């Protein structure tokens, strides 16, 4: 069966997350429904590079699916999009790949963006797409504090209680906090992440940015490996999966 690699963009607000759910809409199920329409009605399994939570968005999620017949990649992209409308999911690109490609297990690095808008006024255009924090944040202190997390560590402090990963040890390749006007972006990359790790990190960094905790606090709670010391978890609406890397890139 021919295999295709998809690059997918979606607005996470209407969905229970990436993963198929029994009684709630998911991005995976939405893509599988479109894929089955191209597969003569035969069921299709769509495997994603990462299982984003409810409300989390993607600018470039990667997935793969197998079909019973070959299609030109650009026709597959367009046909998938025709069947995806009006759901807020779009296939940006499709490529034919070998059977050895696996969207999840072949991935070498995943990158995320978290958007914070630090202002008193309510959001209008970015409702559901960013976290409004109604006060000034010191992004320079947030950036300094974040560097304590770079490298291989036990991230138990930033691990959700329901995380199913075998180990809390992960390697954070990089993290950067930058300001763009009233918006603060937290960008991070790693081979893989724990459940809600990014949102837990961002929520704690905001405590530093607000002046509630000193810069050294991030390193201290990381070393403690104690979930109870984590700051408030940032809401899902500000998080975006922005890139997935593979050995051929």
Report CA-CA distances (Å) from 11 to 56, 117, 127, 225.
7, 18, 12, 33
Position 218 in a domain:
yes
Are 138 and 223 in a shared domain? yes
Active site residue 53: yes
Query: Taking a C-beta distance cutoff of 8 angstroms, is the pair 116, 184 a contact?
Result: yes
Bridge partners for 8 per DSSP: 61, 91
3-state secondary structure 87-145: CCEEEEEEEEECCCCCCCCCCCEEEEEEEEEECCCCCCCCCCCCEEECCCCCHHHHHHH
- For position 139, which CATH number holds? 3.30.70.660
Q: How high is the pLDDT of residue 48?
A: 97
Last residue of a domain, one of 67, 97, 127: 97
**CB proximity list for 142: less than 8 A, separation 6 or greater:** 177, 184, 186, 205, 206, 208, 209
Q: Choosing from 11, 53, 93, 160, which is the catalytic residue?
A: 53
Can you give the residue range of the structural domain that contains 60? 3-97
Are 53 and 120 in a shared domain? no
pLDDT digits (tens, 9 = 90+) for 160-208: 988 888 999 999 999 999 999 999 999 999 999 999 999 999 999 999 9
Residue 133 has pLDDT above 90, yes or no: yes
Q: How high is the pLDDT of residue 249?
A: 66
Q: Which has the closest alpha carbon to 249: 1, 25, 49, 27?
A: 49
Q: How high is the pLDDT of residue 191?
A: 97
pLDDT digits (tens, 9 = 90+) for 38-86: 998 889 999 999 999 999 999 999 999 999 999 999 999 999 999 999 9
**Rounded-to-integer distance, Cα 30 and Cα 18, Å:** 9
Residue 248 has pLDDT above 80, yes or no: no
Position 45 in a domain:
yes
Position 103 in a domain:
no
Position 22 in a domain:
yes
Are 161 and 42 in a shared domain? no
Neighbours of 246 (CB within 10 A): 16
């Amino acid at each position: 069966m021919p295999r295709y690699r998809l690059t997918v963009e979606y607005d996470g607000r209407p969905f229970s997350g990436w993963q198929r759910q029994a009684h709630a809409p998911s991005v995976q199920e939405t893509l599988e429904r479109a894929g089955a329409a191209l597969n003569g009605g035969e069921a299709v399994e769509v495997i994603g590079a990462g299982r984003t939570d409810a409300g989390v968005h993607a600018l470039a999620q990667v997935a793969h699916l197998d079909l019973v017949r070959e299609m030109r990649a650009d026709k597959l992209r367009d046909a998938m999009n025709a069947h995806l409308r009006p759901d807020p999911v779009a296939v940006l690109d499709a490529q034919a790949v070998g059977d050895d490609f696996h969207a999840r297990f072949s991935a070498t690095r995943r990158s995320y963006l978290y958007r914070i808008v630090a202002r008193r006024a309510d959001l209008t255009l970015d409702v559901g797409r960013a976290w409004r924090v109604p006060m000034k944040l010191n992004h320079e202190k947030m950036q300094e504090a974040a560097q304590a997390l770079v490298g291989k560590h036990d991230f138990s402090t930033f691990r959700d209680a329901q995380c199913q990963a075998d180990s809390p040890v992960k390697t954070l390749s990089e993290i950067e906090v930058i300001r763009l006007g009233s918006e603060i972006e937290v960008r991070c990359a790693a081979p893989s992440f724990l459940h809600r790790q990014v949102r837990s990190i961002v929520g704690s960094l905001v405590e530093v940015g607000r002046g509630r905790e000193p810069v050294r606090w991030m390193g201290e709670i990381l070393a403690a490996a104690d979930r109870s010391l984590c700051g408030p978890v940032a809401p899902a609406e500000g998080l975006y999966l922005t890139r997935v890397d593979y050995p051929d890139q």
